[in-house]
Structure 1
Amino acid sequence: MSVEDLVRDNAHLLNVQSVLQHAAVASLACTGPRTIGPDRKPQRLEIKQDMSTILPAVEVARASVQSVNIQPAMELVDACIFPDIDAINASIVKRELAEECKRSVRMQLKEIKERQQSAVNGRHASQREKEQQQLFINSLVMRQENEKLLQQQAEQLAKKELEMQQRDQLALLRHNNQKLLLLTIEAVSRCHNRFCSKYEAVTKLLMTLDKESVQACAAINVELRELGQMFDQLVGKLKNGNCEQPELSCVFTAEQYCQSLDKLEDSLHQQLTEQEQQLLHKAKQQAEEKEKQRILEAEQHRQQKQEEQKQQEQKKQELEAQLKATADAAAAAAAQEVRPVETPVVAPATASGSISTSYVHPTRLAFYNEIIALYQSKVDAVKPLQTDEAWKKYRTNCQRTINVPLNAITASSPQHLTNNFDKLYNFFAGQAVRTTDGSNITINDHPLARDYCILLMAKKFVSQTDTAISSNPQAAFPFASVINSFWKLLPDFGNIFLAYMFKESPYLVPYVIPQQPDQTPEQYLKTMGYRLSDTNELEKPDMFLKRQTGIARLYAAVIITPGRKADGPTHPFGLEEAWRWLSHIMLVKPLPDICATMIMEMLQTLGFELWRAYGQNFLKLLVYIQTIYIPQLAAYDEGGPKTRLEMLLSKFLRERQIPQAVGVLPPGFW
C-alpha cells in the first residue's frame, strides 16, 4: 500500500466519525424502522479488548462526545435506554483507537513524507549543485576558451599593430632621414655659398696685394687653401652619399669651416690694417717732409721775390738817372719842348688768401661757410638760455621731451612713425607737454627755447649714426623721413642738421680741410672728424670709419627718402645733391680709406636711384671713377676700402645694375 492510499483510508475513518455523530442526532427525528433507540433491543458486541485498556478510552470518548455542542441530543440519549452500553463504548474506543491510529499513521506518514521530501530535496539540491558545478565548470572552460581566443586575437591584433607601427616608423624614419638629408644639403649649400663668396673676396684681396704683403701673408694663404680643399672634400662626400659623419655633424663642420674662414679674414684684415697703419705713418712722415719741403720752397720763393724786388729797385734807380740826364741835355739844347717820358708802373704782388680747389670746390666752400655761419649764430643766440642755472630744469625737460619719441622712431608701422612724429611736432607747435615730474612745459615758455630745441633735435638725429645706424643700415630711412618732414616745416632745422653733419664729417661737403702750420697732428685729425677721448687719446681708425659710414648712410637716406604724404611730394634736399657730391669728390685731394669708404657707402645707398634718374650719364660717372679716380686714389690708398670699392664698381659695371638699398621707405608710407 502506498502512502497516498493510507492517507485516503485515514480520511475515510474521519468521515465515519462524523457520520456517527450526525446519525445520533438524526435518530431523534427518525419515523421509520429504527435500529437503535429505547424501544429496540440492544445488540451486543463482543469486545475482545481488555477492559483495563478500554475504560480509559471510553472516558476519553465520553469527554470528546460531551465536548460536542449537542447537549439536547445527549440528554435525550441519556434518557433513552441503549441496548448495550458496552457496544457503544467499544465503538467509541474503536473510534478513538482509529483516531489514534490515524494520528499515528498521519505522524508516520508525515515523517515519511518529510523524509521523502527531504530526500527529494536533497537529491534535487545535489542535482542542482551538480548542475551548478557543471555549469560553473562549463562556463569556466568556456571563459578560458574565450579568454584564450581573445588572447590569441589580441596577440594577432597587437602583432598586426606592431607591424603597422614598425612599417610606419620605418617609413617615417626614411622620410625624416630624407628630409634631414635635404636640410643638411641645403644648410651645407648655404655655408658653401657663404664660404665661396668669402673665399673669393679674400682671394681677390690677396691678389691685389704687393709682393711684400703677400709674403707676409704666406701662412694665411696656405691655411686658406687648406680650408678650401677640406670644404670641397666635405661637399664631395655629401653629394656621393658616402659621408661617414651624421648629417648634423656635416652642418657643424661646414659652419666651423666658415667660422675659420671668418677668423682667417679677420686676421688678414688685422695684418693689412697694421700694414696700412704703417703706410699711414709713412704717409704722414712723407706729408710732413713734403710740408717742410713746401715751407722751404716757400721761403726760397720769398727770398727770390725779395731779390727780384731789389733788382727792380736798382733798375728803377738806373732809369731815373737816365731820365735826369736826358732832361738836363734837353734843357741845355733848348731845341724844342719835349714831352716827358711815361714810366711804367709796377703793381706789387699780392698773396692770394683763397683755399686751393684741390681741398674744396669754391661753390661748396661757400655753401659750407653759409651753413656753419647759421649754426654759429644759433649757438651764440641760445647761450643765455643754455648757461642760465634757473632754467636748468626746463632744459632737462626739453631734452626728455625730444629724446623719448626720437629714440623710438622705427619703420615698424606707419602708425608708430606718425605717433612719434606727432609728439615731436606738437611740442614745436606750442602744445603743452606733461613731464615726468607732473608739470607742463611748452616751447613758448622762453624766447630762445625754439632755437635751443632745434639745435638739440638736430644734434640728437646726428648722434643716431653712432648708436643705431652704424650697426643697422635700415634704421637710417625712418629717421631720414622724419628729418625731411621737419625740414619742410622748419627750414632752419634742415640747415642746422647739415651743419652738425658737416662738423662730424667734412667729407660730406666734400671738404678736405688743410692742416694749419701751428696745428698738431691730433688737432688736425680732430678737425677732420676724428674724436679725442677724455684722456686725450685719438679715436682708432676702424671706429672712425664705422662712425663715418653711419653718417654717410643717414646723409644718403635723407637724399632719397620722402617725408609725410601730408607735406606734399616736394623734397628739400633731393637727388641732385648726391650727383653734386659725387662729381665734387672726384675733384678734391684723395685721402686714404675715408674717401673710398664714403664713395662706396653712397653708391650702395643711392646707386639705384641715381642710375634710374641719370641713366647713361651716371654710367659714365662710374666708368670715370673706375678708370680715372681709382688710379689717382691708388697713389694714396692701398688698403681694404679701396679694394672693396674696386670690386663693387666691377660688379656694378659687369651686371649693369645696382640693387636698391634694403629698408627704403616706399612713397606714401605714412
Structure 2
Amino acid sequence: MSNLAIDMSDEMDKTGFNRIRTRALWKAVQCGSNLTGGVTIGPNAPQNGWGAFSSSMETGLGGSIDDIDITPITKPKSAKTKREMKTVRLIVDEPIIDEENLCRRRILAELNKLSIMEAQEAKYRHVKQMEEHDRKAAEEVAKLNAQQQAEGLARQQAKMMEMAKQQEELLRRQQELAAAQANREETRKQQLEMEKQSRERMKQSEFFNRVYETHRHFSNQYREILEMLKAEEEIKKAIPDELEVIKSCQEKFDSLIAKCKRDEIANEDVVCAEHLLKTVTALNVKAKKEVERLEEMRIREREEEEQKRIKRLEEENKKKLEEEKKLQEQKKLLRGGGAPPGSPDSVPNLLADSKQDVVGNCQRFQEYKALQKNLEKTEESLAQFSKDETLKKFRSDCQKAINVPVNAISAHSASHLSDKFRKLLNFLQKQTVVVSEKRITSATHPLGPLYSLNYLAVKTVKQGEQCVSSNPEAAYPIAAVVIALWTEMPEYGKLLLAHFYKSSPYLIPTYWERKKMETDEEYYKRLGFLYSGGEKEDMDKFLKRQSGIMRLYCAIIVTPHNRANKSKPHPLPLSEAWKWLTAFILLPPKADISATMLLEMLEVTGHLMMSTYGAQFRKLLHLICISYLPLVERVTLPGRGGPVTRLRGFLEGLISGKSIPPPKGLLSPNFW
C-alpha cells in the first residue's frame, strides 16, 4: 500500500472534518514528541519535525503516510454495522513492520480513530442540532400555521359574525321597513277613517246647524204665538184647532232636539224640522191676522171712547172756572208739606203757576237742610282722621270690613242675606269681625265707628250708581239689608239720606239754579254729574247713574221689614213716595232727567201705591198724563226723546187698562 487514503463525504467535509483531523494530528504530534523529538507540524517546520516523522514513518512502514487508507465511518444503520464501523482498518502494504513502526502505526490509527470518532460526534451533534433546528423550525412552522389557522379562523369567525350582524341589521331593517309599511298602512287607514268620521261630523254638524237655525226660527215663531195668546185671550177661541197643531209641533221638535243631543240626527229629521217651522210660521201668520183683526176692533172702540172722553172734557172745562179757587187752596196746602193722601183734594193743579219754586218752602226741603247739616258736622269731625297717614292702614281695614259683605249681598238665600247683615251690624257695633283671615274691629280708634258708618252710607249710594244701574234686580236685596241696618242704627239712615240727596238732588226734589261766580264744573257737580280729567260725563252715563240711585231709593221704600223687625215702623214709608211725586210734578220739568226719574219712581212704587191709595193714585196718574207729560215733551230736545217716549208708553199702558206689575226682583215679605 503506497498511499494512505481518507475517504470523506461531502456531507462530512461540510461538518469541518479537516479541521478536526488537523487538531487530532496535532495532539498526536504532542504525544509523539516523547518518542521522536523534533516532530512538528506546519509548512515552515524543519526536517526534523513532521517531515522527519513522516520520513521515519515512511521508512519504518516501508511507504509514505499517504499510503495509509483511512476509511471514514458513517453512522451505522444496524448494530452489526455499528460494530464494524467502530474498527479502523489500517491497511499496510508491507508485510513486515518493526515494533516502533507498529507502535507508530497504532498511534496513528488510534489518532485517526479518535479523529473519526470526534468527527462522527461532531456530525452527530450537527445532526442533532439540525434535527433540533428542524424540530424547532417545524414547531415554529406548526406554531405559525396554527397561529395563521387561528387568525384565519378568527377572521373567518369575525367575518361570519360581521355577516351575521349584517344579516341581523338587514333583517332589522326589513322588519323596520315592514313595520313602517304597516304603520303607513295603519296611518292611511286611520286617516281614511278620520276623514270618514270628519265627513260624518261635518254632515252631522251641518244637520245640527240646520236644525239649530230651524229651531231658533221655530222658537221665535212659537214665542210670538204664546205672547199673542197671553196678550189676547180671545185668540184661543178663534183658533182652537190650530192650538193643538202648535202643541203637537212643539212636542215633535222637542223629540228632534233630544235626538240631536244623542247624535242621532239624520237628513230626514232636518226635513221634518223645516216642515214643522213652515207649519208654525203659517200658524203665526194666521194668529197675527187674528190679532190685527182684534186690534182694529179695539181701535174702533177706543176711538169711540175717545170721542166720549172729549165730550166729557168739554163738560169738565165748563166747570173749571168754578173750581179754580178751590184748587188754589189745595196748592197752598201742598206747598206747606202736602195734603195727606187718601183725599181727592190732595191732587195738585199743575196748570196754575207751576214755574214757581215750591220746594224751597216745603217740609222735604227743610228735612234736606237738616240732613246736610248733620252730614257736614260728621265730615268735619272726620276731616283730621281721614288725612292722618298713620291711620291709613286702619282706614283700609275698615273699608275692607264693609266692602266685602256689601259687594256680596244678593238674594241667593235668606241665610246668605242674614250673614251679610250680621257681619255689617257687628262691625258697626264695635265687635270684632274676621276679614281675609284677619281680625278687625272699628273700636281700635275712637272715630272708627263714625268713619265706618259714614263710609257704609257712601258705599250704599255707590252700589246704586254702579251695581243697580246695570242690574236693577240687585236693588232689592241691598234695600233689605239697608232697612235692617237703618232700623238698628238710625244714625246710618240719616247719613244715607244725606248722601242720596248729595249725589242726586232730584230726590229732594229740586233743580239747582246756578249761583253767581260758580264755574261750570262746580255747578254740574251740584247737579250730580261726575268729572274725569276735567271732562264732564256724557248725558247717557249720567242718566244711567241717576236711574240706579233712584231705583235703589224706591226699592228701600217698597221693600218690607225682615221677620225680626216686622212690628217696627218702616224707616222710609210709602208716604215718602207720595210726597216726592206731588212735589216733583210741581217743578218745571227738565229735559231727559225729569222723565227718567219719574218713570223709575212709578215703575218701582206704582204697584204698591195703587194697591194702597187706589182711586187717589189714579187721579194723580191722570193729572200727570194730562198736565205734566205735555210739559216734559215740550222741553225735550230733538233726538233725545228716549226717556219721554218710555214714560209716555208706560202711562198709555195704564190708560188702556193695564195694571202696574210688582217690580221684578222684589223680595217677598217673609223672605228672611
- Report the TM-score, using the length of structure 1 for normalisation: 0.48
Structure number with bigger Rg: 2
- Report the TM-score, using the length of structure 2 for normalisation: 0.48
